[in-house]
Structure 1
Amino acid sequence: MEPFLGTEALSSGALTRGALRWNYRAVLPNVYLPRDETPTLEDRTIAAWLWTGRRGVVAGRAAAAIWGVTGIEAGTPIELIGPHARPHPGVIVREERIADDEIRTWQGLRVTSPARTALDLGRRLPTGLAVEHLDVLCRVACLTRDEVEQQLQRYRGVRGIPQARVALRLMDGGARCPEETRMRLLLYTNGVPRPSTGILVEDGGRVARIGMGWEGIKLGVSYFAPLEAGVGVAAGDLVHHEIVARTGWTEVGYVGMANAGLIARRVRSEVWRRRARRV
């Protein structure tokens, strides 16, 4: 059941005061959910929007989740752009500029466009976390760099824009999971040239996807699921390795980020060794 305004339920006759008091609880002033229901991120987003009198525009990570960014925790503060409101735990209302072309509608809610969402993520989150969200947003919302650049130009001089420029420059929709984003950023901080992402190699009609790499030197880096993922996944990985090897690529694989620093240094050495050999 979606959150609802208590006053509307009472005035329409859908609930009595007794039923409202005993069967529902207020998650925000005048905004209710069933008493035994644990609010999801979507529930909390709708509740916060109702709390603003349906005037707020959902922004930040709540907007990113609406656009399809996964991994955002249910307890994440809900950000909205709208008229000033009395502070309340778990909700952040920002009274700031937003243009009409930066607003979309989702199930009746107003939400920031993918480009505006990207801008706000980049200027308000730590760079690493921002890029993780931006990679997914870029992929699921088909966000282009031109759209992002328009936002940067429109809001140049606004607080956090230099930080946003760094995060948005690192955005890459070719990443398929947070582990690939984290490794790409680690390679970047270790001085490795920016790789291509989502590289497809083919062998006799069979196709394998390399997470990231450098096509000129046929060196790739890919994340693989841990052994606990099951026999089917492991069998698929064996086929993947065979295809990659037959196409002449060398692939560095990793399972977790525990030894990521060592892997990044190994990749850096191999990249520069192979590039020097080509000169």
Structure 2
Amino acid sequence: MGIDVRPPSRWEVVPLLECLVPLGATRPRRPDLNAYVSDLPEDDVVDVGGVACTSAVRTALDLARYRPRFLGLDAVDAMAHEGLVTVAGLEEAARPLRGHRFIRRAREVIDLCEPRTESMGESWSRLRVVEAGLPRPQVQVSLCDADGREIFRIDMGYLKEQVGIEYDGVAHHLKTAEQRARDDARRAEIRDRFGWRVAVTTKEDVFGRRPLVEGTVMEMLGLSFEVRRRVWA
């Protein structure tokens, strides 16, 4: 379906094929295959290039249930961004599974889904501040001139406090000194022209154990409380 759901530690590794077999069937055992026994209604099966695959909604729901929250969220955000699923559709699909294993995690992930999210780093950054107990930021904040033309767009932020959060990935932001200088100049203009302060986060920040992201955002928002931090593995 065009969505890469590999974790950061396995971006260069070909993922294992995952297979569902019907209840009562024998689960195949092969070194290149992860096989599971599961109920699989006909509506959950689609044809992709001649291969029977789980539908987009079933795939998203399974990822939200069985993957760690940070991986489930970036997958569901990406699938919603591409129009493969909707939040309402996922909520409806999860409703009959009340009481099933890991369905609470799935509901939490679906509730946090933001279809306008444009990268997995943005998903991780948003989850990190929410898990810390900070308010949920609005995504894709547009800063416009007097004529209503968008001049800048911030990954996420808090409108009243004019505090933004942006994720800088290596490929587009941190690979060269020119990229870093361009980002610095852009954020200086955002501050001077629009009065917004922007907290910048990286992969090391969102996966690190130190609450640097949360502390920076808390200080900008004028908040003070004990940060909750879940270790992502």
TM-score scaled to structure 1, two decimals? 0.65
Contact residue 187 and residue 198 of structure 2 kept, 8 A: no
* Residues 81-96 of structure 1: pairs in structure 2 closer than 5 A: 81-83=20-22, 84-96=26-38
Corresponding residue for residue 38 of structure 1: none
- Equivalent position of 1:122 in the other structure: 64
Q: Which residue of 2 aligns with 1:187?
A: 129
User: Unpaired runs of 5+ in structure 1?
Assistant: 1-65, 274-279
Corresponding residue for residue 79 of structure 1: 18
Q: What does residue 264 of structure 1 align with? A: 214
Q: CA deviation at 1:197?
A: 0.9
Q: Following the alignment from structure 1 to structure 2, what is the Cα–Cα distance between the partners of residues 135 and 196?
A: 14
C-alpha RMSD over aligned residues: 2.6
Name the counterpart of 2:140: 198
Distance 1:129 1:70 in 2: 7
Map 1:38-49 to 2 at 5 A.
none
User: How is 1:1-279 mapped onto 2 (pairs within 5 angstroms)?
Assistant: 66-69=1-4, 71=6, 73=10, 74-83=13-22, 84-203=26-145, 205-225=149-169, 226-229=173-176, 231=178, 234-235=181-182, 238-239=185-186, 241-243=188-190, 245-258=192-205, 261-273=211-223
Structure showing greater Rg: 1
More displaced 10-residue stretch of structure 1: 205-214 or 257-266: 257-266
Shift of 1:187: 0.9
Once the 2 structures are TM-superposed, how far is the Cα of residue 78 of structure 1 from its aligned partner?
1.5
The one-letter code matched in structure 2 to 1:254 is T
Q: Summarize the Cα distance change of 1:206–1:185 in structure 2 as closer, same or farther, 3 Å threshold.
A: closer
8 Å CA contact retained: 1:211, 1:220: yes
Contact 2:190 2:197 in 1 (8 A): no
User: Aligned-pair distance for 1:237?
Assistant: 5.4
Unaligned runs of 5+ in 2: 224-233
Check conservation: 2:143, 2:153, Cα contact below 8 A.
Answer: yes
Q: Identity rate of aligned residues, in percent?
A: 24
For residues 256 and 94 of structure 1, what CA distance do their matches in structure 2 show?
Answer: 32
CA deviation map 1:153-191 (0-9, x unaligned)? 122232221222222222223332232222212211221
Structure 2 match to 1:30: none
